[in-house]
A and B are shown apart, each in its own frame.
Chain A
Amino acid sequence: MSEPLIEIRGLRKVYRVGKVDVSALRGVDLDVPPGEFLAIVGPSGSGKSTLFHIIGGLTPATGGTVRIGGQDISSLTDAGRTKLRKNKVGFVFQKFNLLPNLTAADNIAIARYIAGRAPAPEPEFEEVLKLLGISERLNHRPAALSGGEQQRVAIARAIVNHPAILLADEPTGNLDSENSAAVLDVMRDLNRRLGQTILMITHNPEAAAFAHRTVRMRDGRIVG
């Protein structure tokens, strides 16, 4: 078996809410090999999003270790986590989170610009855009796109810098079943054709069925 791309050991996260400490993660262990499409399911408050936020470098861990490609990210500074988000992970959110004043093409270009690359994607990325079915919609602003199209633009933006991991947090949560199926198909294609490692949070068992493996979380722990 190949070395895990993500190796999580004893991961803990405690949030301070007012004067109360809330444990969001209570010792998570998880290995994700490269190229895996992993679904994470669990009820609200089980710690799924917190796990994503730590893997994605949006927030530091309170304890434990998270290694991505051998690098321990749990001890990174704010600047280190910014670099991680820029180069190693791509996010897809439930609410798409496209910049409303930019066209689809510019939403993709800004991710490249932030990463210090030329704003125009490489010519090979054309194929990915075709796969996503948005090549003809790039000059439209988000308001002129359907939910499914917006989410596919968000996926293009997330992978335009070739991140090691694509983190998708309820990517179909705001979509109807037709658009949900289209987005999940695209993610599976990306995983199969490009070997993109994908971690997807979902409440939907049908969505989870697209993944190679599903892990369940409850009360800040992986339970199955």
Chain B
Amino acid sequence: MRSLLSMFLIAVPVTLILCLVGLSQGMLADSARRARGIGADIIVRPPKTSMLTLSGAPLPEKLVDAIQRKPHVALAIGVIVHLVTNVTYVNGVDLAGFDKMNGGFKYLEGGPFRGPDDIIVDQYYAQQHNLHAGGHVDDILNHHWHVSGIAEGGKLARLAVPMRTLQDLTGNTAKVSQIFVKVDNPANIPAVMAELKAPDFLPDYNIYTMEEFTSLLTVENVGGLSTFIHVMVGIGVVIGFAVVLLSMYMAVLQRTREIGILKALGASRWFILKIILAEAAIMGLGGTVVGIGLSFAARALILALYPASLTQAITPDWWPIAGAISLAGALLGALYPGLSAAAQDPIEALAYE
């Protein structure tokens, strides 16, 4: 019972680490998938913007027209991005251009905007907020929105509204957040990139091919994220260490007499230490397996309760790392109780009641 409880407690930091890494990677992969879903070849973002987050609209809308006039540019569209909650963005989009770029949204219910106060929500947001075409949304920018359609997810943000409306509501009239560019022929992408980055055009802007942009969406490229993960890993080791230390210390106390018996039978210090470390290793590995299981449960729970909020990836490449972390914590935690058990006087241990 004690061992099972310890295993469960060791599983907690393993789950924590796997969920954290899974959420980081899941959110980034989701961003990359959405970016690819737009169907553009090049993305133009304002100077000094974060890879993961973008809110506000510092680019003048006329820049879209300037880019559109460049050779080999088939289409350029501006999109305005506004942060609604911690993880939910709303996009202001011109549906005509958007449809031309990627064929437009696939509607599961309803259809495109018919008026300036219409909103299109993706299926996950609709599921989480129990929305249907024809319904209303009132908690976004304190505006009364009419749901014109429920779309398949994977293009832009979970919420899309007419660009002019969002520009006006956020005080960004005639401005956009980022510009998506489609090139007439993929072979011309380098040429267009060179045009856009030219010293007399947009030298300081963050301009990427879509391939570059999505490949940059990694944990390492998001400021502070990998440090945060390292801190969580450290906390995981400390929790694993503390749990096993207490558990094994209790076990050694409980089994003092048994340790005495083993010593009377001729068990060496190393033999006793080995038993304690082996038990800790089993607890560490068992805790890892339970922790991995719990990370699946956490993912299912997030999906069931908040399908539109966080995207948690399952990260098998982190399983051995989480295993090594809990094993290291468990072995470190077992070391002191193990050494004190190994050093026990057999006569005193045998007399222990």
Interface residues of A (CB under 8 A from B): 53, 56, 58-59, 78-79, 82-87, 91, 93, 97-100, 110-111, 114-115, 157
Interface of B is mostly: helix
Min Cβ gap B8→A in Å is: 21
Known contacts A97-B257, A99-B258: does B350 contact A82 (CB below 8 Å)?
A: no
Binds A, one of B101-109, B116-124, B263-271, B285-293: B263-271
A56 and B257 alpha carbons, distance in the complex (Å): 17
Query: What are 22 A-B contacts with C-beta separation under 8 Å?
Result: A53-B347, A58-B264, A58-B346, A78-B269, A79-B268, A82-B266, A82-B269, A83-B266, A85-B264, A85-B265, A86-B265, A86-B266, A87-B266, A91-B265, A93-B264, A97-B261, A97-B350, A98-B261, A99-B262, A100-B258, A114-B265, A157-B265
Known contacts A58-B346, A58-B347: does B267 contact A99 (CB below 8 Å)?
A: no
A32 and B260 alpha carbons, distance in the complex (Å): 27
Q: Which of B264, B266, B350 has the most CB of A within 10 A?
A: B266
Min Cβ gap B273→A in Å is: 13
Min Cβ gap B210→A in Å is: 62
Residues of B within 8 A of A84 (CB): 266
Q: Using a Cβ cutoff of 8 Å, how many contacts connect chains A and B?
A: 50
Min Cβ gap B30→A in Å is: 50
Residues of A within 8 A of B263 (CB): 58, 82, 85
Min Cβ gap B345→A in Å is: 8
A144 and B57 alpha carbons, distance in the complex (Å): 79
* In the complex, chain B residues 124-172 whose Cβ is within 8 Å of any chain A Cβ: none
Residue contact B266 to A114, C-beta cutoff 8 Å: yes
Interface residue tally for chain B (C-beta within 8 Å): 17
Residues of B within 8 A of A86 (CB): 265-267
Report the nearest B residue to A112, measured CB to CB: B265
Min Cβ gap A105→B in Å is: 15
Residue contact B262 to A114, C-beta cutoff 8 Å: yes
Residues of A within 8 A of B271 (CB): 114
Known contacts A58-B346, A93-B350: does B261 contact A82 (CB below 8 Å)?
A: no
A131 and B266 alpha carbons, distance in the complex (Å): 25
Min Cβ gap B168→A in Å is: 74
Residue contact B265 to A110, C-beta cutoff 8 Å: yes
A98 and B265 alpha carbons, distance in the complex (Å): 11
Residues of B within 8 A of A58 (CB): 263-264, 346-347
Interface residues of B (CB under 8 A from A): 257-258, 260-269, 271, 345-347, 350
Residues of A within 8 A of B346 (CB): 58
Residues of B within 8 A of A59 (CB): 345, 347
Residue contact B267 to A114, C-beta cutoff 8 Å: yes
Residues of A within 8 A of B264 (CB): 56, 58, 85, 91, 93, 97
A182 and B170 alpha carbons, distance in the complex (Å): 96
A58 and B350 alpha carbons, distance in the complex (Å): 11
Residue contact B268 to A82, C-beta cutoff 8 Å: yes
Report the nearest B residue to A88, measured CB to CB: B266
Which of the residues B261, B266, B268, B347 comes within 8 Å of A99, measured between beta carbons? B261
A196 and B346 alpha carbons, distance in the complex (Å): 25
Report the nearest B residue to A89, measured CB to CB: B266
Which of the residues A53, A93, A115 comes within 8 Å of B266, measured between beta carbons? A115
Residue contact A85 to B261, C-beta cutoff 8 Å: no
Residues of A within 8 A of B267 (CB): 82, 86, 114
Min Cβ gap A162→B in Å is: 13
Residues of B within 8 A of A91 (CB): 264-265
Residues of B within 8 A of A97 (CB): 257, 260-261, 264, 350
A87 and B346 alpha carbons, distance in the complex (Å): 17
A93 and B349 alpha carbons, distance in the complex (Å): 13
Report the nearest A residue to B346, measured CB to CB: A58
A115 and B260 alpha carbons, distance in the complex (Å): 16
Report the nearest A residue to B264, measured CB to CB: A91
- The 8 A-B residue pairs with the shortest CB-CB distance, nearest first, are A86-B266, A85-B266, A97-B261, A58-B346, A114-B267, A82-B268, A91-B264, A111-B265
Residues of B within 8 A of A78 (CB): 269
